[in-house]
A and B are shown apart, each in its own frame.
Chain A
Amino acid sequence: SQTIHQWPATLVQPVGSPLSLECTVEGTSNPNLYWYRQAAGRGLQLLFYSVGIGQISSEVPQNLSASRPQDRQFILSSKKLLLSDSGFYLCAWSVGVYQPQHFGDGTRLSIL
């Protein structure tokens, strides 16, 4: 069966520090991968998605970037964190089109 792992589960970082969040998927090949941010109050905002290695689409302009160095690995990064980057970051995967996305358990990021 397929599983998705995100780490760390929680992270506290100072303003201006770099960021690297990692997501890996097991049990499937060539998945579509997604990064979302969920601010307090529920809404999910799509940040990036990838249909293959090295292919990244950005949905909103921001201080973050994403990379996909391997088929089942998706990384969210920042060179300098802002206070507004605080939130709950979720990674998800799907296979094919018009198929459900399956989410990891997220990383709670707090910027001080």
Chain B
Amino acid sequence: GENVEQHPSTLSVQEGDSAVIKCTYSDSASNYFPWYKQELGKGPQLIIDIRSNVGEKKDQRIAVTLNKTAKHFSLHITETQPEDSAVYFCADILTGGGNKLTFGTGTQLKVEL
């Protein structure tokens, strides 16, 4: 079955620095890649997504890049703020796999003052 690996598992940055989280997927049929942010005690919230026909997408301080050849995609957060501290999950959906998401194992991001 599909496997999504996510690194690092924890990430600590200084406020104002950039943070990068990377994911790799195993099945070349993956065609949709969302990123979720989960704050303590809450459900994951979609923050950005990208489809397989696009290489990069940006929304203010958040960007996602996709390299289909290498089967990896990354989340970039610039000018980090304390409220960016949370657990971040990557995920993908396979073509022909219905709408089932395969999640990465999560990255605990801590933005320090």
Q: Which residues of A come within 8 Å of B, CB atoms? A: 6, 32, 42-44, 46, 49, 51, 90, 92, 94, 96-106, 108
> Interface of chain B, helix or strand or loop or mixed?
strand
Enumerate B29-44 residues with CB–CB distance to A below 8 Å.
Answer: 31-32, 34, 36, 41-44
Q: Which residues of B contact A99 (CB under 8 A)?
A: 32, 99
Contact assessment for B99 and A105 in the assembled complex, using a CB-CB cutoff below 8 Å:
no
Does the CB pair A101–B43 fall under 8 Å?
no
Q: How large is the interface on B (under 10, 10 to 19, 20 to 34, 35 or more residues)?
A: 20 to 34
* Contact stretch, chosen from B11-19, B45-53, B65-73: B45-53
In the bound complex, do residue A98 and residue B32 qualify as a contact, i.e. CB atoms below 8 Å apart?
A: yes
Residues of B in contact with A (beta carbons under 8 Å apart):
31-32, 34, 36, 41-46, 49, 51, 87, 89, 93, 95, 98-101, 103, 105-106, 108
- With A43-B103, A98-B31 in contact, do A103 and B98 touch (Cβ < 8 Å)? no
Also in contact, A43 and B101, with CB within 8 A (given A98-B31, A103-B44, A105-B43)? no
The 23 sampled A-B contact pairs (Cβ below 8 Å) are A32-B98, A42-B106, A42-B108, A43-B103, A46-B101, A49-B98, A49-B99, A90-B43, A90-B44, A92-B43, A96-B99, A98-B93, A98-B95, A99-B32, A100-B34, A101-B34, A101-B46, A101-B101, A102-B46, A104-B43, A105-B43, A106-B42, A108-B41
